[in-house]
Every structure is written in C-alpha cells, then in structure tokens.
Amino acid sequence: MSTGMSTLHELSAAELLAGYRQRQFSPVEVARDVLEHITRWEPHLAATWLLRPEAALAQARASEARWLRGAPCGLLDGVPATLKDNIATAGDPTPLGTAAVPLVPASADAPPAARLREAGAVLIAKTTMPDYGMLSSGLSSFHALARNPWDISKGPGGSSAGAGAAAAAGYGPLHVGTDIGGSIRLPASWCGIFGLKPSLGRVPIDPPYTGRAAGPMTRTVQDAALMMQVLSRPDARDSMSLPAQDIDWQRLAPGLERLRGLRLGLLLDAGCGLGLDDEVRAAVAAAARLFEQAGAIVEPMRPFLTRQMLDGMDHFWRMRSLIDMRQLAPGQLDKVLPFIRQWAESAAAFDGAQVFEAGAQFHATRLATVRACAPFDYVLSPVAPITAFAAELPAPTNDPLQPLEHIAFTVPFNMSEQPAASIHCGHSATGLPIGLQIAGQRFDDLGVLQIAHAFEQLRGPQRPWPQPPE
C-alpha cells in the first residue's frame, strides 16, 4: 500500500504514528507491507534471524485494536522494529552470532527489548551479527552472510550488521544495535543511515560491559530521538545505568541557529590504524564547511589515539575472548569462526604484565579522548577511514593479528563514555555511503541529536534508498 508518494515501509516512525492517529492506515497494513518488502529483500541481504510474520501480525492486530479504542499503550505503538541478535528476547535463544553457543531460550527480555515491548512496538525480527560481535562485518558461523543493500557485493559493517542493512533496506523504521568499538556507527556509516552510540549507561543493557552501549539505528534523527525517549529509562540490571533524567528528546527544533558560535573540532587523523581514504576525507571536510557556513567555528584537531592504546585494547579483548573460548567444549570450539579463533588464541603467549599493560590502555584512551575533546562543544570526524569492503571478508585487513585498524575514529568514544553518532554525509564515486561522526561531551546525548538534526537540513536532498534487485 502507498500513501502519497511513499509506500508504508518507507515511512518514518513519526509519519506512521501520525497516520495511525489520523486513521489513514493501520498497524496491520503497515506490518503486512513491511513483511512483504522484507520478503523481496531478504534473499539478497540475510539481515534477519527469527523473522516470524505471524507473531508480528498478531502484535500489529493488538496494536490496531488499541488505536481503534483511542488508547495506544505507548510512544511507539504499532511501529515495526528489530533487535540485534545479542539483545535477549524472552523465550528465544541468544546465539551471539556464533554456532558455538548452545541455543538456550532467554528467561527475560533484555532492557532494550523490554522497553520496546512496553512502548507497543511491533517486533518484526532479530537482526544478524558476526561471531561474538567481534568483527566489523556480517560474517558469522551461525547466520547467513549479511550484505549491504547499496551494493550486495559489500558487507554492511558490524557488528550490528543486520540492523544496518535492515534500516537502509526499509525493514521498518526502528532498529536497535549495540556498540563497544564502533558496532553501531560503522554499519550506520557504510549503510548510509543514522546511528547513535549513547553515553555509557544512557540506554541500559544486560549484560553490561565497559564501553558497551545499545542505541538506535534509523533513517532519520527524529526517529532515533523517539527511540531514545523509550530506551533511556533506567534499569537496575545494568550496573552502569544512569539515573532517571527528564530529557525532552523531541526538542530538535533549535535547528540551524543552534550551530552559531559553536566550537567544533575537526579530526581527520586518527593517529593510527588505516590511512584515511581521499573520498572519505573530502566528504567529511565538505560537511565541516557546511557547519562553518552556518556559523560554527571549526578548528582542526591533533590526533590523540596512539598505536599503544589501540594495540592494548586489542590484546586485552583477545585475552578476554580466549578465556571465554576455553570454557567451550571441544566440539563447540571447533564451530567458532576460524578468524576469531586465531585472533583469540594469539593471546595464549601473553604474560600477566602484558595483559595488565593492555588493560591499562582503556583508561589511557579515556584520558586522552576527554582531554582532546575538552576545548570543543562537539567533535567532527570520519566514522571509518574507508568505505564498505567485500562482504566475504571478516575485516578490512583480513588479518586476525591486525583486526581493529578501522576503528581508530570510533573506539575512543566508547572508552570516554561520550555520545557519538554517525550520519550520512556523502557517497564514493561508486555510490557507497560515507558517514560523518559527531561526538559530544559526556551525557550530552540530546546535543548530539540536535547537531545531527541540523546537519540533516544542511546536507540537502539525499539519494533514493536502494531497492530490492528485480
């Protein structure tokens, strides 16, 4: 079904909710249209797991009845949404992208899943991810290989791989990913969507872990703000959950005047990792000029992440993964993606002093990031130094001993606990999306959304979203 110039699956959450209120269409009509669209796309993308049309339609029918009574149950009633594989949903297994994990049904919804259900969202599916979320690709020993709707020979990024592909392809407007080193922002950049990694603790997650955040992945900033109003409620299961705070997440209106006089840092050198692609540099520099023309003060930043920091975090995560894998039975261990096994097993030679020094780099990264960002209201940078790479590769380097060379722009903000978003700012010559990272001071999640919303207005009309192959 279409409404005006758009089919239902192309509408934003805000547009769907307005349509429900005005009785232009129903949650059932929307769910059917989204499911039909997924059917056309999914053989090419492999973005979903636990795609259950009948369960989704049952949720939509319940929502329709509530709207007909004039009594929606929450802010997102009837809006299609997906959740990443590693966000537990009651009664479903949580494979974490790997065939090595026993498929044991979860006893309860993780906080993001619980908040979406309470708000009335129609949970269409879970989305795919790589083994243990330790890759920036859609390569998995459990899920089919996820691909990028802009070019199916490329990967969508990761580890929120399926979520990025689903958002770009129009699998409904709302998607939740997780991010510990860039796993929301990288697929957002490579799939041309908006993704927000909130301040640590802003969106409760279970299990919690240093640097780990859950956040929205959407086509528009407004839809991400809607999700934040729901997702940001405290939950005691997250030991780092922030206290309740009265934030008007819909207050995006300040618009372009919000930019006048702001001091923006421009970081075009991460300090280590892969070199910055010329097309990415040009797109981010052009975005910075738009901010400058709107009245912001843009100043270049010196790199602050060091090789020692990036390698230290990498080595610590290797040891953590090695310990986890040593808990697996021999038959289970054999099922882990070979790239991941080789990466983790390389930590076996580390001694205690090496692991301690590696762990210390998380704090060193935090200190360096906070210090570098302190003079600025917000920081602009690339999300990734390159555009999307071949879908079959586990990482751009295809080297298990150098797997994190592409996260040098993103991982510092996980360790500093600052909010950071990816917003589409251009395309390569071959049509691949490029993302601009906007990072704010700790707890200024609303400010990041406002700056991103202003950039939506600055950047002008966008290319049409990709459509399923004929």
Q: Are 172 and 34 spatial neighbours (Cβ–Cβ below 8 Å)?
A: yes
* 467 φ, ψ (degrees, to nearest 5): -115, 155
Cα(284)–Cα(387) distance, rounded to whole angstroms? 13
Quick one: DSSP state of residue 184? T
* 300 φ, ψ (degrees, to nearest 5): -65, 145
Tell me, rounded to whole angstroms, the distance of Cα 26 from its chain centroid. 28
Per annotation, catalytic residue among 159, 241, 381, 416: 159
33: amino acid identity, one letter: D
> Strand pairing partners for 7?
2
Cα(330)–Cα(348) distance, rounded to whole angstroms? 17
* 380 φ, ψ (degrees, to nearest 5): -105, 140
Residue 26 three-state SS: coil
In total, the chain counts a number of residues equal to: 470
Q: Are 180 and 209 spatial neighbours (Cβ–Cβ below 8 Å)?
A: yes
Q: What is the CA radius of gyration of the chain?
A: 21
Q: Which helix (H) or strand (E) holds 266?
A: strand 263-266
Per annotation, catalytic residue among 136, 137, 160, 183: 183
Tell me, rounded to whole angstroms, the distance of Cα 405 from its chain centroid. 19
Per annotation, catalytic residue among 84, 126, 154, 197: 84
**By 3-state DSSP, what share of the chain in percent is helix, strand and coil, each rounded to 5?**
40, 15, 45
- Report which of 132, 133, 131, 113 is spatially closest to residue 123, judged by C-alpha positions: 113
- Report which of 368, 370, 371, 380 is spatially closest to residue 264, judged by C-alpha positions: 380
Within 13 Å and on the Cβ side, how many CA atoms surround 137? 26
Q: Is 126 a catalytic site residue?
A: no
Buried b (16+ CB within 10 A) or exposed e, 213-251: bbbbbbbbbbbbbbbbbbbbeebeebeebbeeeebebee
Q: Are 129 and 337 spatial neighbours (Cβ–Cβ below 8 Å)?
A: no
Q: Is 140 a catalytic site residue?
A: no
Q: Using CA atoms in the order 247, 249, 255, 261, what is the torsion angle rounded to 10 degrees?
A: 40
User: At which residue do the structure tokens 């699998």 appear?
Assistant: 171
* 433 φ, ψ (degrees, to nearest 5): -65, 155
Q: Is 183 a catalytic site residue?
A: yes
Cα(425)–Cα(369) distance, rounded to whole angstroms? 24
Active site residues: 84, 159, 183
